[in-house]
Amino acid sequence: MSSVKGGILALVLAGGKGERLHPLTSERTKPSVPFGGKYRIIDFALSNLVNSEIYSVYILVQYKSQSLIEHIRTAWRRGGVSPKHFITVVPPQMRKKELSGWYRGTADSVYQNINLIYDYKPQLVAIFGGDHIYRMNIKDMIDYHLKKKSQATIAVIPVEAKQAYQFGVVSVDNNFKVKQFKEKPSLSRNKMVFASMGNYIFNTDFLVDALGEDVGRNTTHDFGRDIIPYLVKKKREVYAYDFSQNRVPALKKYEPRYYWRDVGTILSYWQANMDLLGPE
Does residue 1 sit within a domain? Answer: no
* Distance, C-alpha 184 to centroid of its chain: 17
Cα 187 from Cα 201, distance rounded (Å): 28
Give the burial string for 48-80 (b: 16+ CB within 10 Å, else e): bbbebebbbbbbbbbbbbebbbebbeeebeeee
Q: Is a pLDDT exceeding 90 seen at residue 185? A: no
Does residue 181 sit within a domain? Answer: yes
Q: Is the peptide bond before 249 cis (omega within 30 degrees of 0)?
A: no
Does residue 23 sit within a domain? Answer: yes
Q: Is a pLDDT exceeding 90 seen at residue 157? A: yes
Give residues with Cβ within 8 angstroms of 174, minimum separation 6. none
pLDDT mean over 53-66: 94
Does residue 217 sit within a domain? Answer: yes
CB 36 within 8 A of CB 270: no
What's the pLDDT score for residue 277?
82
What's the pLDDT score for residue 93?
83
- pLDDT-derived band at 100 (thresholds 50, 70, 90) equals low
Does residue 2 sit within a domain? Answer: no
Q: Is a pLDDT exceeding 60 seen at residue 84? A: yes
Most distant CA pair in the chain: distance in Å?
54
Does residue 238 sit within a domain? Answer: yes
Please, what sign has the CA dihedral across residues 217, 220, 223, 228?
Answer: negative
Does residue 93 sit within a domain? Answer: yes
How many structural domains does the chain have?
1
Does residue 111 sit within a domain? Answer: yes
181 burial via Cβ count (<10 Å: 0-12, 13-18, 19+): buried
Tens of pLDDT, residue by residue over 197-230, are 999 999 999 999 999 999 889 999 999 999 999 9
250: domain CATH number is 3.90.550.10
pTM: 0.92
Question: Could you list the residue range(s) of the whole structural domain that residue 26 is in?
Answer: 8-275
- pLDDT-derived band at 31 (thresholds 50, 70, 90) equals very high
Q: Is a pLDDT exceeding 90 seen at residue 183? A: no
pLDDT mean over 22-43: 93
